[in-house]
Chain A
């Protein structure tokens, strides 16, 4: 042993990086366990007793709680409404909720519990990482899964006709922001800030850059940071040197807020700040202050959207929740996801088809022009990704303001 310190430090480094990995909550790092032995042999489940059971996996605890709570409220509203009109073919719809605790592995066991309780469909989650785990259960037990807010494109891949979602994918929101920046704001020189610890952020930056360049704009700089970082002076100084007229920040709100503040403090005064649905939280205003006010981001839904479905949803939601509006977009998306399932159940009932998870999965994929609160959803002829409306909203001092809605045709041609 030539040098004790060397040894200790090397070991410590190894250990600390281990604990560091344990500390960051990258859902992709969660190893998928071997699927547990299926008891039913994978023949699907038939509703038992007198109700039709829909399983909802939501984060009642953990850092996704604000989204989880809204998602549950929305889903419950949808179920209460169908039951108030007599249920489906005389049968009540039952919403069974399991907590994922904001963790992929707990989301998986929550989904397994719901499957063993005999649900005909699974709904959830708001994050791609957890949804990926629920998907393994859905595939194994052959139960259809409707994801609520999972925007990562590969969620529906290899879905065997079981996996769908009610939200747009990151392939939509990057181009939406690019079109908005180029055409509506007249930006030509945009800089990009990417969180290279988050696949979400990397993917979003890619789709944004691609579309923006395609339109004829110039990406003048791209800088990287890691979630958990606090001081962005170095990167910002480089952005400043590139003299951008807009900055696209594709990360999540905890870093975007302070970063916006530091961008202004470093003297980039006029560049318009933009981002994706990772900004969707009231806290972005608190952590970004004046700097983030006036920034634009892409969202699934806005309380101010001009669709008639939105006004009705808000009235109903308020009545059911003591006058409170949903705090996040997940109230509407949770409502939409459950209603998508109920809509398929209604069609099965009308066609006198026996209701089980197999027939339901098929019927969900047959959905055509379903008027969801957050936009029309068509799953027929897709692999489960609806081509869906996306909104650009502006951050205001107390909330967010609807600016413009984009239909897929406006963006993807």
Chain B
């Protein structure tokens, strides 16, 4: 029995859609995971929840967009090309450039935010640092509103995206009855090339991160600082450098996520658009166990899939509520998160 579309109190379970929905969830989760890594790494080292992280994500998206403009894919240039019936596409190298520029700019922003906003607050109470983080977040949103294009610029990046091919994977073919109606629904997974590229890039980035954290000197310093910040500094580790590196790494990942979201999924940008992904990714980080790197990845992907499953059940109107229900449940049942340690912490 492949199809089991039954109506149970309004819930419509269409199992033929489940594989596609899991793929959808994975794509959303991959982006959440990239952002969640930034939250979790900073928390791991500083015990600070960097609420400005969503805004770094937003800046990354704008950077990617403006880079594509600079490479000749501005609205005017594209419209001119269309009027001549041309179909201009970026080449893969162009996408790599966009990715690297977005990551670099975000890394610089991350470092600047840490240096100017959080470093002076380092020895203050954690609540002060938290409030500062929220302040920075709002500062970036409203400054963005002043200086970034005020009409939401559409993402041209996706228009020039070379990976637009739609891949269809027919797992179970649809069977048609004689009269042309569907006798047995098929199962298929439809995904764009771009999303596959996105997923591969996420895997590569995460492998790089793992290598950096586990096998390099900076990574070892990071882990030491995360284990015990004060002792690490006593052992001759330059903790300021470690903190900067952590912020840069986390922000670069957010930048990469932003670039891929704008390019392969398409977004309409405005200075507040980092808020929603930021909050979701924060929940993902808590779900996986904040401070725990594999936890952030797991949490992100679970969040993406959970959200999509809520939609699959037919409750798209409550999709975002699901994120917060998850957060509350995690905090109640397993406050340390799925992979986090459950030790009781003193404040």
Binding site for B on A (CB under 8 A): 1-13, 15-17, 19-20, 22-25, 61-63, 65-66, 196, 223-226, 228-231, 233-235, 237-238, 241, 253-255, 257-258, 261-262, 265-267, 283, 286-287, 289, 397-398
Stretch of B77-85, B91-99, B200-208, B294-302 at the chain-chain interface: B77-85
**Pairwise interchain contact B276-A8, C-beta atoms closer than 8 A:** no
**Pairwise interchain contact A283-B308, C-beta atoms closer than 8 A:** no
Question: Which residue of chain A is the closest to B277 with respect to CB atoms?
Answer: A230
- Is B114 an interface position by the 8 A CB rule? no
Binding site for A on B (CB under 8 A): 14, 16-17, 20-21, 23-25, 27-28, 31, 49, 51, 75, 78-79, 82-83, 126-127, 130-131, 134, 137-138, 141, 150-156, 158-159, 166, 168, 185, 188, 190, 192, 261, 265-268, 270, 272-273, 275-277, 279, 282, 286, 290, 307-308, 311-312, 314, 316-317, 319-320, 324, 327, 331, 335-336, 344-347
**Pairwise interchain contact B320-A226, C-beta atoms closer than 8 A:** yes
**Pairwise interchain contact A241-B273, C-beta atoms closer than 8 A:** no
Q: Which B residues are in CB contact (< 8 Å) with A24?
A: 272, 275
**Pairwise interchain contact A2-B275, C-beta atoms closer than 8 A:** no
**Pairwise interchain contact B152-A16, C-beta atoms closer than 8 A:** no
CB within 8 A of A4: which of B14, B168, B272, B346? B346
Distance (whole angstroms) from the CB of A327 to the closest CB of chain B: 11
Distance (whole angstroms) from the CB of B165 to the closest CB of chain A: 10
Q: Label chain B's interface by main secondary structure.
A: helix
Known: A223-B311, A234-B24. A16 touches B266 (CB 8 A): no
Question: Which residue of chain A is the closest to B347 with respect to CB atoms?
Answer: A4
**Pairwise interchain contact A286-B78, C-beta atoms closer than 8 A:** yes
Known: A16-B279, A231-B27. A238 touches B265 (CB 8 A): no
Q: For the complex, what is the distance from the CA of A229 to the CA of B156, rounded to whole Å? A: 18
Task: Give 12 A-B contacts (CB < 8 Å), ordered by A residue.
Answer: A5-B290, A8-B126, A15-B51, A24-B272, A61-B150, A224-B317, A230-B266, A230-B277, A234-B319, A241-B16, A258-B266, A258-B267
Question: Which residue of chain B is the closest to A289 with respect to CB atoms?
Answer: B159
**Pairwise interchain contact B345-A4, C-beta atoms closer than 8 A:** yes
Distance (whole angstroms) from the CB of A298 to the closest CB of chain B: 21
Q: Which A residues are in CB contact (< 8 Å) with B17?
A: 237-238, 241
For the complex of A and B, the 9 pairs showing the least CB-CB separation, nearest first, are A254-B268, A287-B154, A233-B24, A234-B311, A258-B266, A4-B347, A286-B154, A224-B317, A4-B345
Q: Which A residues are in CB contact (< 8 Å) with B273?
A: 228, 230
**Pairwise interchain contact B151-A63, C-beta atoms closer than 8 A:** yes
Q: For the complex, what is the distance from the CA of A261 to the CA of B14, rounded to whole Å? A: 24
CB within 8 A of A231: which of B265, B270, B331, B344? B265
CB within 8 A of B83: which of A226, A283, A289, A398? A398
